[in-house]
Amino acid sequence: MMPKVLLAVLVLTGLGGGVYMIAGTQAMDEQELAALAARVNAEQADRATQQAIPETQPRSVEPTVFAQALEEEHRVVLDVRTVDEYNEGHVPGARIIDFSGENFLSELDALDRATPYAVYCRSGNRSGQVLEIMRSLGFRDVVDLSGGKNAWLAADGAWCTGTTC
């Protein structure tokens, strides 16, 4: 009976990638060993699946990646510049949340954490700070335009001015 217990420890250590200990004097028969190995295999498969699907994390991206993100159906674009800056021109469909406004944090906190966002400002400084704030508030799918409006326009990104949008 003892070799069955030793075999179980070896199988579990090899399949699960962790250290398992079987305490006591109870021996496992073949059926119990098979059930235990199947459970460990299922847990290992779950872990592998979770590792294969990368979690989306808030991140700064170049204009080409930002443009791709804007094409996603449910992504909300946030312009964190001032109202005056926004009125001079903005990314199509952008919603303004003024980083320097007195209600900025409450407006940001009211947003749905499950919604994907694209954030930008003039140079990437304010939006980079907003990215970190959103990360700390639990937002998971946020892209920040590295270089901001300046990089966007240099890359010929779409821009609304006056009545043209």
The amino acid occupying position 68 is Q
Smallest CA-to-CA distance from 79 within 144, 151, 9, 35 is with 144
Tokens of 90: 């903005």
- What CA–CA distance (Å, rounded) separates 19 from 47? 16
For the question of residue 165 being annotated catalytic, the response is no
Q: In what order do the strands lie in the sheet with 59-61?
A: 59-61, 142-145, 117-120, 76-79, 95-96
Catalytic residue among 8, 121, 130, 145: 121
Q: Which residues are identified as catalytic?
A: 121
